């Protein structure tokens, strides 16, 4: 019977009685490649376009590029504003690095599973049980300057420049409790050209679902934190 492979790290599992005279080579390759990569491997994944990059999951001992998902650390790069990275829906710990100062990466489990966000220039230490992401630690505070309409991600810190025109920022769809987006009047012009915050189908401060929030106070700085479907997004001082 041929070898099988473990579900999480794709380590080669030798069937009893197989590979007589060569099992030692397979075991050494498992140790020196598969297990070593899972414990200490760091790989840069250069993404292209605004679509989805699916991490490779090759069976058995492989070069890093042929089993990207097995690596302990992954550094993503992009020249785009957004990109999605698809991870296998299995249990794993990852240390993730955003090597781009402009791209927000959406990290998705499987083809349509749970997602989390890796903001520009940030790092994440995360765990997944194959169904959900659990963010154990995030480092760095990154502020993005916006001069036109934008759909925010949970964790965004935004400098809003309305010196040329009013701007609408749309809050994240399908938010989770504790998701936060912060806003700062970058040029002190909210009183001239207001900021509009669009909540989608959610509420802001318990108001009617879908009602926009208009901010016209010069120099305003504040954050919105999502509570639940009854209360929606709640205002918090910046």
Residue 1: per-residue pLDDT: 62
Is residue 136 pLDDT above 90, yes or no? Answer: no
Residue 174: per-residue pLDDT: 87
Which tens digits make up the pLDDT trace of 191-238? 999 999 999 999 999 999 999 999 999 999 999 999 999 999 999 976
One domain, residues 165 and 128: no
Residue 30: per-residue pLDDT: 79
Number of helices and strands in the chain (H, E)? 2, 20
Distances, alpha carbon 235 to alpha carbons 82, 122, 226, in Å: 27, 25, 9
17-26 own/partner pairs: CB under 8 Å, 24+ apart:
26/61
172-178 own/partner pairs: CB under 8 Å, 24+ apart:
173/200, 173/201, 175/202, 175/226, 175/233, 176/226, 177/226, 177/227, 177/228, 178/225, 178/226
CATH number for the domain harbouring residue 51: 2.60.120
Residue 33 lies in a domain: no
Residue 14: per-residue pLDDT: 87
- pLDDT over 70, % of the chain: 98
- Domain termination residue (choose one: 139, 168, 193): 139
One domain, residues 184 and 150: yes
| pTM of the full structure | 0.67
Q: Please give the distance of CA 179 from its chain centroid, rounded to a whole number.
A: 13
Residue 17: per-residue pLDDT: 83
Domain residues for the domain of 222 are 143-237
One domain, residues 133 and 157: no
Structural contact between residues 152 and 172, judged by C-beta atoms closer than 8 angstroms: yes
Residue 228 lies in a domain: yes
CATH number for the domain harbouring residue 200: 2.60.120.640
- Domain termination residue (choose one: 112, 139, 166): 139
Is residue 182 pLDDT above 90, yes or no? Answer: yes
Per the structure, the count of domains in the chain is 2
Is residue 142 pLDDT above 80, yes or no? Answer: no
Residue 11 lies in a domain: no
Residue 9 lies in a domain: no
Residue 140: per-residue pLDDT: 64
């Amino acid at each position: 019977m041929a070898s099988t492979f473990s579900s999480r790290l794709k380590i080669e599992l030798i069937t009893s009685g197989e590979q007589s005279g060569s099992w030692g080579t397979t075991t050494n390759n498992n140790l020196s490649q598969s297990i070593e990569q899972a414990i200490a491997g760091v790989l840069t994944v250069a993404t292209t376009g605004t679509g989805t990059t699916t991490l490779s999951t090759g069976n058995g001992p492989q070069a890093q590029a042929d089993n990207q998902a097995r690596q302990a650390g992954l550094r993503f790069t992009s020249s785009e504003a957004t990109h999605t990275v698809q991870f296998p829906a299995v249990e794993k710990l990852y240390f993730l690095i955003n090597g781009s100062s402009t791209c927000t990466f959406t990290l998705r489990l499987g083809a349509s599973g749970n997602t989390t966000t890796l903001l520009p220039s940030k790092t994440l230490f995360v765990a997944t049980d194959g169904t959900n992401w659990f963010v154990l630690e995030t480092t760095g505070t990154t502020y993005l300057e916006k001069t036109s309409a934008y759909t925010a991600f949970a964790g965004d810190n935004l400098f809003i420049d309305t010196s040329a025109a009013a701007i609408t920022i749309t809050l994240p769809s399908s938010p989770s409790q504790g998701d936060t987006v912060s806003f700062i009047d970058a040029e002190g012009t909210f009183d001239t050209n207001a900021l509009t915050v669009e909540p989608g189908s959610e509420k802001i401060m318990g108001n009617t679902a879908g009602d926009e929030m208009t901010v016209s106070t010069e120099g305003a700085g504040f954050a919105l934190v999502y509570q639940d479907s009854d209360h929606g997004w709640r205002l918090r001082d910046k």
